[in-house]
Structure 1
Amino acid sequence: MLQNSKWLNGLLQLIVVMSLAGCNAAIDIDKALEGYLKGPAKIYRHSLGGAPSSLDPLNSATLYANYIVINIYDTLFRYKYLARPYEIVPNLAVAMPEVSEDGLTYIIKIKKGVFYADSPAFPNGIGREVIAEDLIYSIKRHFDVVNRSQGSWLWDGKIVGLNEWKEAGSNYSDVIAGLKTLDSHTIKITLIAPYPQLIHTFAQGFSAFVPHEAVKHYGRELSVHPVGSGPFKMLRYESSNYALMIRNIKYREEPIDLEFEGYDPILHKKYGIDKIAGKSPPLVDALKIDFIKESASKWASFNKGNEINFTGVPVEQVEKILSQKQPKPILTPEMAEKYHMFNTTETGFVHTDFNMRDPLIGYNDDPVRDKRNKLLRCAIRSAFDWKERNDVFYSGIAVTFPGIIPPVVPEYDPELSNSSTLRNLDEAKRLMLEGGWTTDNVPSLVYGGVASVATRQMYEQFRGWMKDIGYPEEKVIFDSYASFGDFNKAVKQAKIMIFGMGWGLDYPDAQNTLQLFYGPFGAPGSNSSNYNNPEYNRLYEQTSTMQPSTERTQLYREMNNMVIDDCVTISGLSRENIFLWHKNVVSFTDAQIVGGFHLKFVDMLDEETK
């Protein structure tokens, strides 16, 4: 995401949940929608576990931002709504790209007659047609020297002339050799070396088509005034509370072909998916997404029956709503009568990183202290108790694994030793002793996270584990942030010593997780740990041009072992997500690779069609 790219706070549940919308909130929505909707309206209320820090595609690095960005803006490609394994398909593109035999040239045609939503940014407030030059402009923005893009890593060092354009001062009138238009609706991209993941980058919010008029009109305020050609149009945005969107009446007519989308009647018919066949997205008139951190509030709202429509199941409710947890979750008869359920292992993982730029815990110019810091990191990892973390926060049904290649990708190694995920207090104490660490000379551990109940509980659990290896309580400090945006900003500025993170894969390839530890992608890029191992970097660069193969998989696994051996992160755990939604909602949710793309397919049934 990815950072999909997409960064997540590992101290918050990586699940999509519906908003807390009480009576007053409902009245506010009705008032806001007056004059925009005619007759009975379908309003779908969604929610996220945190607020976006920006809605500018430049910085759509979190799940929260990306969810909204890909519904306001357009991308060249998307993923099929229902197909698993995931399949990438054209979105704004007419077809999949024409690729040269050497893998260096891509020719992509975009659809004609696609228009941006009306906005004051355009002359007379009328949105113009989307053209190929808009993509070139949008990519250039990521490499503009005045911008602090969080998405430039997707194309950094990949496209001929792009980095040189940045170094020359980012003059938008200058032509980039590797980014050209062949006509108003055809783009030619020339790569420095083969980049097998290129088309997947064009399914991320970072790659959204942004009109230059909107950037000129809103400037930095584009982060709260998005203007795109996607299925929805922003009506009202309160950055800490909610986003209220309405159907983009200019959105292209594209009737849903369920067979194309991967429809399986055995899996999908029970959710009413057959009812959307032939309809053109978006299927609801308005979409409201609330930003709510606390799972208890979401759960209470969901169970009222007349507020939110969809929720992830909080850990404290799992035992109550399931008649069986293993080997497959099954709802109690009472819950099954009221709600739909779907469960899946996340395509991603949570992990706790050390900031390697912090000389107290990471790299240090003094080689002796550098070695001692590594021993300290390894000791902390050995004291970490993944089983307890899983039982307390993830209902004991999550999957732990060693390193940074999660079980959902084909490069995962099921034979790899899991010793780095097992608690071993004797080993932790031995490492502390070898490093010469005592209660008097250990550095204070600053553990950063969002100010939520769950985050605080995770910190207290962590502090308890550190106490078990002789760490003084007063030397394990909680660094609290008011919002996920504030937390993520501090991470991107390398200000936090130890922090929990989560990553949802942008595409099903281990390269997408390995890039999280590639040195040149250090903060403010996707490598929040700021790990910088020359050999790891070399192998990353070598594999970045390789097609999937046994050789590439072996190199990926070598890189995974380097991260484990250097004790850069405490990893990892893939959560089992359990989703519930009311039976008047037609949906097959995906909080992961399809992500926010699924929202345009959501429909609401009236009483007669339920």
Structure 2
Amino acid sequence: MCGPGAIRATPFRSLAKAWVLVSALASASWAFAAEPAASSAGVGANNHSAQSAKVLRYAFQIAETGFDPAQISDDYSRTITPHIFEALYAYDYLAMPVKVIPLTAAGLPEIANDFKTWTIHLKPGIYFVDDPAFHAAHDTNSTNSARRLKPGERRELTAEDYVYSLKRFADPTINAPLYANVEELGIQGLLALRKQAMAAKRALNYDTPIEGLKALDRYTLQIKLNQPRPRLLETLAASDLYGAVAREVVEFYGDRIMEHPVGTGPFVLSQWRRSSFIVLEKNPAYRERYYEADPAPGDAEGQAMLAHFKGRRIPMIDRVEISIIEESQPRWLSFLNSEHDLSFIVPPEFINIALPGNKLAPNLAQRGMKLQRTLTPDEAFTFFNMEDPVVGGYTPDKVALRRAISLGLDVEREIRQVRRGQAVLAQSHVVPHTSGYDPAYRSEMSLYDPARANALLDTYGYVDRDGDGWRDMPDGSPLVLEVATQPDSLSRQYDELWQRSFNALKIKVRFFPGKWPEQMKAARAGKLMLWMMGNAANSSDGQEALQYLYGPQAGNQNISRFRLKEFDNLYERMQVIPDSPERDALFLQAKRLQAAYMPIKTHVHRYRNDLTQPWLIGYRRPVFRSEFWHFVDIEKK
């Protein structure tokens, strides 16, 4: 795939190339990629000729939204940010079961006061990539310790940067979509500071000290919590959200900060055409960091990777180019024509061709391609807006409507026809590879029973009152479901399947398409009735998925706006106790409540099939989060 300004003067070899060129020309009038992001200062030293540079190329099927950790929530933006920013901890790339290791921290936390006090020491000598923001004048009235740097002077990462970065989530002027995640941690004084800002209708006062977030010295961070949080370490391993952001950079760029990510990580944003093309370059000033991993003794593939790469300085590639290609055909052809090095999820439409019998097709194997097929810790689900006058509510008739819809959706057909067998039936919102997941658990969630669904609708008054052949509401008004969808060919296949299921229930349905980012905004604002979407776990704690049902998360992770005191009490109890049989019992109760009230219909847990070209070495899909660029290499003969 060619980047802007570097289109090859060769004939098109495929529909994919033609599509990419048309897309690039169509977007040229509004793209700002010709102007490198401010964070690319100094990247020029890392530019190589086309012949010598090691470039990783692949595609997203859905567009990013931006690159400020405090303002993003989508998986695609969150694939970019952990390669730019760095959290205190990370996951070992090869370890299974997963293992948290220090990243910018000097070691594991010192934990005291029953998991309520966490003290973390940082490694000295970690620096942000150079940026004009560090050399500009700063507000002298602020207690922020940052100062204007002299030419050639580097900005070191300090404990105060993590204090500031965590506080940003509580700033009401930012409206961080995942603020509720931070509020759940119960950092002492943070909620009170946020309420002060909200009462005054102004930005958070970052200079006001709070007991829960302190820089004890330049390299020591202390976090104090209101309640025990035994699993805080996994939260602190999220570079996509909790990586360090420099205050000077945020203040310098203001409302353009989504375009100017500046971190300490291995890559730097170089070019960006919104919803079209993203380029990152290797950080030329990245500290000396070497490939280390801890694969299990029986993990032959992991042991081979470790033997091949151990001791190599990372990152090993020079550049990453990501194209946004929503339609499956051009995305797949780009990979087949060697324009992409990785097919990050083989499109369902091509599964039978690429993976007959879930095995790599002989013609692709002969080309040296490799397959990784993984049952991932994710889910596809349909949420019902619990505040919607048609499908929302907690009365028996509303519960019956949602349960009938769930029973009437033929998810096994969905798996066979649309997903091409690349999923398993889900029994709850808790996903594989996480605590609380029980492969033996069964619930109504996975049942397909249209006869029972129709009987439920009849019993609770959803009958055809005007003789037009379609069911009406119990009060006689029309029953019409408004289903959000996307304008791509794969989404249309799901729509056709849903139409068939609703026809069998004699429920009228109206589909309205929209781009994924716009639909997501509408969903968070409570403007969608129901929509099918996906979620991937960020850690091994299964409670993370249950945020989608936790009342205080309504409008954030709780996209359905489900509020049930009984569920909230379970959730809050689960937060403070260690992993144990007692906690497993709480998971079971929570799963039963989901099936009973059906605010979310969890369809499937998905297999992900990743294909790599023979020259992409060292790739393994991370179990949690998509952070892998600095662990792979391009080795062409």
Q: Does 1:37 align with 2:47?
A: yes
Q: 1:504 to 1:238 in 2, by over 3 A?
A: same
Q: How does 1:581-592 map to 2 (within 5 A)?
A: 581-590=612-621, 592=623
Which residue pairs with 1:448 in the alignment? 484
Q: 1:227 to 1:89 in 2, by over 3 A?
A: same
Choose from 167, 175, 178 the match for 1:148. Answer: 175
Instruction: Give, as a single letter, the amino acid of the residue that structure 2 aligns with 1:451.
Output: P
Identity between Structure 1 and Structure 2 (%): 27
Question: How many residues are paired up?
Answer: 573
Range moving further from structure 2, 152-161 or 345-354: 152-161
Q: Larger radius of gyration, structure 1 or 2?
A: 2
The 4+ residue runs of structure 1 with deviation greater than 4 A are 18-36, 124-127, 261-265
Q: How does 1:300-319 map to 2 (within 5 A)?
A: 300-319=333-352
Q: 1:415 to 1:37 in 2, by over 3 A?
A: closer
Name the SS for the 1:155 alignment partner. Answer: helix
Q: Does 1:333 align with 2:362?
A: yes
Contact 1:154 1:201 (8 Å CA) reproduced: no
Deviation at 1:210, TM superposition (A): 0.7
Q: Does 1:106 align with 2:118?
A: yes
Q: Does 1:352 align with 2:376?
A: no
Deviation at 1:332, TM superposition (A): 3.1
Which residue pairs with 2:141 in the alignment? none
Q: Distance in 1 between matches of 2:382 and 2:17?
A: 28
Which residue pairs with 1:196 in the alignment? 230
RMSD: 2.5
Q: Deviations over 1:367-405 (max 9, x none)?
A: xxx432221111111101110110112222411121212
Instruction: Give, as a single letter, the amino acid of the residue that structure 1 aligns with 2:127.
Output: F
Which residue pairs with 1:163 in the alignment? 191
Q: Deviations over 1:147-183 (max 9, x none)?
A: 2112222221411111111112231111010111111
Q: Deviations over 1:224-254 (max 9, x none)?
A: 2111111101111112112101011121111
Q: Deviations over 1:423-449 (max 9, x none)?
A: 111111111112211324343211112
Q: Deviations over 1:229-286 (max 9, x none)?
A: 111011111121121010111211111124x36686622467x664322111111111
Q: 1:182 to 1:68 in 2, by over 3 A?
A: same
Name the SS for the 1:139 alignment partner. Answer: helix
Name the SS for the 1:577 alignment partner. Answer: strand
State the TM-score, normalized to the length of structure 1: 0.89
Q: Distance in 1 between matches of 2:603 and 2:34?
A: 44
Deviation at 1:567, TM superposition (A): 1.4
Structure 2: runs of 5+ lacking an equivalent: 1-15, 37-42, 136-150, 198-203, 464-470
Which residue pairs with 2:107 in the alignment? 95
Range moving further from structure 2, 491-500 or 451-460: 451-460
Which residue pairs with 1:14 in the alignment? none
Q: 1:125 to 1:534 in 2, by over 3 A?
A: farther
Choose from 225, 234, 237 the match for 2:272. Answer: 237
Which residue pairs with 1:187 in the alignment? 221
Q: How does 1:428-439 map to 2 (within 5 A)?
A: 428-438=453-463, 439=471
Q: Distance in 1 between matches of 2:503 and 2:439?
A: 32
Choose from 242, 251, 257 the match for 1:216. Answer: 251
Choose from 128, 131, 147 the match for 2:158. Answer: 131
Contact 1:119 1:125 (8 Å CA) reproduced: no
Choose from 29, 36, 58 the match for 1:46. Answer: 58
Which residue pairs with 2:588 in the alignment? 557
Which residue pairs with 1:15 in the alignment? none
Deviation at 1:317, TM superposition (A): 2.2
Q: How does 1:515-554 map to 2 (within 5 A)?
A: 515-523=547-555, 525-554=556-585
Q: 1:605 to 1:265 in 2, by over 3 A?
A: farther
Give the number of the structure with larger relative contact order, counting CA–CA contacts within 8 Å between residues 6 or more apart. 1
Contact 2:212 2:225 (8 Å CA) reproduced: yes
Q: Deviations over 1:290-346 (max 9, x none)?
A: 222222211111111244443422223222233533xxxx22332222201111101
Q: Distance in 1 between matches of 2:252 and 2:355?
A: 52
Q: Deviations over 1:195-224 (max 9, x none)?
A: 122111122222121111111111121112
Q: Distance in 2 between matches of 1:286 and 1:171?
A: 38
State the TM-score, normalized to the length of structure 2: 0.85
Q: How does 1:15-30 map to 2 (within 5 A)?
A: none
Instruction: Give, as a single letter, the amino acid of the residue that structure 1 aligns with 2:364.
Output: M
Deviation at 1:26, TM superposition (A): 11
Q: Does 1:479 align with 2:515?
A: no
Range moving further from structure 2, 21-30 or 304-313: 21-30
Structure 1: runs of 5+ lacking an equivalent: 1-17, 365-369
Q: Distance in 2 between matches of 1:34 and 1:106?
A: 40
Name the SS for the 1:121 alignment partner. Answer: helix
Name the SS for the 2:430 alignment partner. Answer: coil
Q: 1:19 to 1:195 in 2, by over 3 A?
A: farther
Q: 1:24 to 1:460 in 2, by over 3 A?
A: closer
Q: How does 1:236-275 map to 2 (within 5 A)?
A: 236-258=271-293, 260=294, 266-268=300-302, 274-275=307-308
Which residue pairs with 2:449 in the alignment? 424
Deviation at 1:359, TM superposition (A): 2.0
Range moving further from structure 2, 370-379 or 510-519: 370-379
